[in-house]
Amino acid sequence: MINPPTRGINLLQTYQVMVFNRALHPELFQLKARRVTQGAGFELESWLMPGRHLLRFAVGDHCTCELVTESDQGIPDSGVVAAFFCAGERDFDRDFKRYSMNYMTTVQTEQLNDNIFMSGLDEMRSFAADADALSYEWDDEFGPSMSVLAIQGMSREVHCQAYHFIANGRIVLRTQTIFEHHASS
């Protein structure tokens, strides 16, 4: 008897957030959507990939990047200021006082049954359209998957909500990230 492919548990435990104090280059990723948001003295560049995202927040010559990924293979390790797994719920913040910026994120993961996963996927399609969010859908051997990145820019901060619906294991990974640019004193 052939065993079916393993679903979910291993993949759920491999997703991580990596925070960098430097820029990462687009040739490292399979970009499916990109957007630039500007505010008072800052720029946010958002990249969406299948099951991944990268946020690059720049103030002057300094930038901080958030990468959510299921694999760190091929990702440089120089400039990593924090890295942690996404399973369960996690909160993290870092004040880059020298560069007048602050980074905060909350990460939540869930493993859903088939019906709730598919229903959530339908709701996410509507949300992505209504919020003018970046989105990308794909199918793999486990079924339909979707990644969504919604950005709300304000004068001195930007709020980013990411949702990754991964068919393998019926995983939903959510991040809520805030980048702030402090006025120079």
Percent over 70 (pLDDT), the chain: 92
Residue at 58: amino acid letter: A
**Residue 3 domain-assigned?**
no
- The pLDDT assigned to 155 comes to 87
**Alpha carbons 8 and 70: distance in angstroms, whole number:** 12
**Residue 1 domain-assigned?**
no
Predicted confidence (pLDDT) at residue 6 exceeds the cutoff of 70:
no
Query: Which element (helix H / strand E) includes 95?
Result: strand 89-96
- The pLDDT assigned to 10 comes to 61
- The pLDDT assigned to 98 comes to 85
Please state, rounded to an integer, the average pLDDT across all residues of the chain: 90
**Alpha carbons 158 and 136: distance in angstroms, whole number:** 21
The number of domains in the chain is 1
- The pLDDT assigned to 74 comes to 86
Residue at 65: amino acid letter: C
**Alpha carbons 103 and 112: distance in angstroms, whole number:** 29
**Residue 99 domain-assigned?**
yes
pLDDT bracket for residue 23 (50, 70, 90): very high
**Alpha carbons 30 and 163: distance in angstroms, whole number:** 17
- The pLDDT assigned to 178 comes to 97
Token pair for 155: 């004068």
**Residue 125 domain-assigned?**
yes
Token pair for 14: 């491999």
- The pLDDT assigned to 142 comes to 94
Residue ranges in the chain assigned as alpha helix (H): 9-12, 114-130
pLDDT bracket for residue 2 (50, 70, 90): very low
**Residue 75 domain-assigned?**
yes
Token pair for 166: 């991964």
pLDDT in tens, 67-120: 999 988 888 889 999 999 998 899 999 998 888 899 999 999 999 999 999 999
**Residue 114 domain-assigned?**
yes
- The pLDDT assigned to 184 comes to 62
**Alpha carbons 138 and 111: distance in angstroms, whole number:** 19
Q: Residue 51 carries which DSSP code?
A: T
Q: Residue 133 carries which DSSP code?
A: -
7 or 155, higher pLDDT:
155
The domain of 96 spans 9-24+33-181
Instruction: With beta carbons less than 8 A apart as the criterion, state whether 155 and 40 touch.
Output: yes
Tell me the average pLDDT across 53-57: 97
**Residue 65 domain-assigned?**
yes
Instruction: With beta carbons less than 8 A apart as the criterion, state whether 48 and 32 touch.
Output: yes
- The pLDDT assigned to 91 comes to 95
